[in-house]
Amino acid sequence: MVVDILGKSLVYLDALCGVKPSRRTGSVGNRAATDFFVGVVESWGYIVDLVDFPCFDYEVGEVSLTCLGEGFG
């Protein structure tokens, strides 16, 4: 029994922590980790209420800041 629980725990941790390339908020990896968690918890008979969080993943590129006509960065 203890070995079974440990084995499942390792599978869950690997699924949640091993998301590639990352689980940053709004990313595909974050949504995959959330879907995995919901699937596991619902399989135990729990009802999961997901609240939409309109967050998007960031894109790498140039950044600039302008305030009162003065540019920074």
Instruction: Render pLDDT for 16-71 as a digit per residue (tens, 0 to 9).
Output: 988 888 888 888 888 899 999 999 999 999 999 988 887 777 777 888 889 998 88
Contact 51, 59 (CB under 8 A): no
Tally of domains within the chain: 1
Query: Which of 53, 49, 13, 51 lies closest to 33 in space, CA to CA?
Result: 13
Residue 14 reports pLDDT greater than 70: yes
What is the number of residues in the chain?
73
- The reported pLDDT for the residue numbered 59 is 73
Tell me the residue range of the domain where 38 lies: 2-72
Which residues does residue 67 pair with via DSSP β-bridges, in sequence order?
70
pTM attached to this predicted model: 0.66
